[in-house]
Amino acid sequence: MKHYFSLFTLFIPLLAQAHYIPAKDTPITLNASLAATWRSDNVVEENEYWQVPGSNMGGDAWPAEEGIQVDEMTLGLGIRIDENTYGIVEVGTHASGRSDHSSVSLEHAYIGYTCCEEFGPLVIEVGKMSAAFSPSLSSHAAERLTSETSLAADVFFGRYFHDEGARLMWHSDSLTAGAEIWKGNAFPATASAGYAWDAFARYQWRGNNFSLSSGAWLYRSSAETRADHRYGGGHQHTPVAVPGETIAVFPDTRFTGDTDVYGIHADVAYTSDDQYWKSGLKAEFMGMQMDGTLHDAIGRAADLDSDQTGAWAQPYITVKNHTFGIRAEWLTSDNVITGAPANQLGADSGMANPTGFEPSRYTAIWLWQWKETIALRTEIIDDQSLLEDNLRFGVGIIWKQTLWPFNGNSHH
Partner 1 sequence: MVRILALVTCSFFMSVLLSGCVPESKTVIDDQGARISSFDWNIPDSIPFPKVPANNPMTEEKFQLGRHLFYDKRLSSNGDISCSSCHEQDKAFSDGITRATGATGDVHPRNSQTLVNAAWYQTLTWGNPLLVTIEQQIMLPLLGTDPIEHGINEANFEQILQSIQADPVYNELFAAAFPQQEDPLLGEQAWNNSIKSLASFVRGLVSFNSPFDRGELNASAKRGERLFNGEVLECFHCHAGYNFSDATTDRETQFSQLDFHNTGLYNIDGSGAYPEPNTGQHEVTGKSEHMGRFRAQSLRNIELSAPYNHDGSVATLRDVILNYANGGRVIASGENSGDGRMSPVKDGFIVSFNITNSEVDDLVEFLKSLTDTSFVTNPRFSNPWLPPSSQQTFTESQEP
Does 354 help bind partner 1 (rule: CB under 8 A)? yes
Shortest separation between residue 315's beta carbon and partner 1, angstroms: 7
Residue 357 binds to partner 1 (criterion: CB under 8 A) = yes
Q: Which of residues 289-318 bind partner 1 (CB under 8 A)?
A: 297-301, 307, 309, 311, 313, 315
CA distance 401 to 412: 8
Rounded-to-integer distance, Cα 62 and Cα 57, Å: 10
Query: 266 near 283, Cβ under 8 Å?
Result: yes
Residues 48-87 interacting with partner 1 (rule: CB under 8 A): 54
* C-alpha dihedral, 137 to 140 to 143 to 146, nearest 10°: 80
CA dist 286 and 133 (Å) reads 12
Asked if residue 332 binds partner 1 (CB under 8 A), the reply is yes
- Interface positions, 206-225, toward partner 1 (CB under 8 A): 209-210
- Give the H or E element holding residue 176: strand 175-182
Which positions from 223 through 262 interact with partner 1, judged by CB under 8 A? 236, 238, 240-241, 243-246, 249
Angle at 286 between CA 284 and CA 292, to 5 degrees: 165
> Is the Cβ of residue 64 or residue 342 nearer to partner 1 in the bound state?
342
What span, in angstroms and rounded, lies between the C-alpha atoms of 330 and 52? 12
Q: Which one, 25 or 389, has the nearer CB to partner 1?
A: 389
CB of 135 to partner 1, least distance (A): 14
Interface residue with partner 1 among 70, 341, 399, 404 (CB under 8 A) is 341
β-pair partners for 170: 122, 177
Closest separation in Å from C-beta 236 to partner 1:
7
In angstroms, give the least distance from the CB of 121 to partner 1.
Answer: 30
CB of 230 to partner 1, least distance (A): 17
Toward partner 1, which CB reaches closer, 337 or 367?
337
- Tell me how far apart the alpha carbons of residues 193 and 109 are, in angstroms, rounded to a whole number: 23
Give 371's DSSP letter.
Answer: S
- Encoded one letter per residue, x for contact with partner 1 by CB under 8 A and - for no contact, window 371-390 reads --------------------
Q: How far is the CB of 200 from partner 1 (least distance, A)?
A: 18
Taking CB under 8 A as the criterion, the residue among 225, 339, 374, 380 binding partner 1 is: 339
Phi and psi angles of residue 333, each rounded to the nearest 5 degrees, phi first: -145, 140
Q: Which of positions 186-205 make contact with partner 1 (CB under 8 A)?
A: none
Reduced to 3 states (helix: H, G, I; strand: E, B; else coil), residue 151 is helix
Instruction: Give the Cα separation of 412 and 14 in Å (integer).
Output: 10
> Is 301 or 364 the residue whose CB approaches partner 1 more closely?
301
Cα–Cα distance, 32 to 403 (Å, whole number): 7
Position 174 contacts partner 1 (CB under 8 A): no
**Closest separation in Å from C-beta 224 to partner 1:** 15
Q: Is 324 in the site for partner 1 (CB under 8 A)?
A: no
Cα–Cα distance, 268 to 304 (Å, whole number): 37
Spatial contact of 135 and 17, defined as CB atoms under 8 Å apart? yes
Q: How many residues bind partner 1 (CB under 8 A)?
A: 53
The three-state secondary structure class of 18 is coil
Residue ranges of E strands in 95-174: 105-115, 122-130, 162-171
Indicate the residue among 99 and 246 with the shorter CB distance to partner 1: 246
Beta carbon of residue 86, minimum distance to partner 1 (angstroms, whole number): 35
DSSP per position, 65-100: -SEEEEEEEEEEEEEE-SSSEEEEEEEEEE--SSTT
- Cα–Cα distance measured from residue 131 to residue 181, given in angstroms and rounded to the nearest whole number: 10
Q: Report the residue from 170, 195, 270, 404 that binds partner 1 according to the rule CB under 8 A.
A: 270
The one among 115, 319, 336, 387 contacting partner 1 by CB under 8 A: 336
Question: Which is closer to partner 1, CB of 2 or CB of 234?
Answer: 234
Contact pick of 74, 93, 333, 363 for partner 1 (by CB under 8 A):
333
In sequence order, the 6+-apart residues with CB closer than 8 A to the CB of 29 are: 22, 77, 78, 402, 404, 405, 411, 412
| Chain residues that interact with partner 1, rule: CB under 8 A | 54, 209-210, 236, 238, 240-241, 243-246, 249, 266, 268, 270, 279-281, 283, 285, 287, 297-301, 307, 309, 311, 313, 315, 330, 332-344, 346, 351-354, 356-358
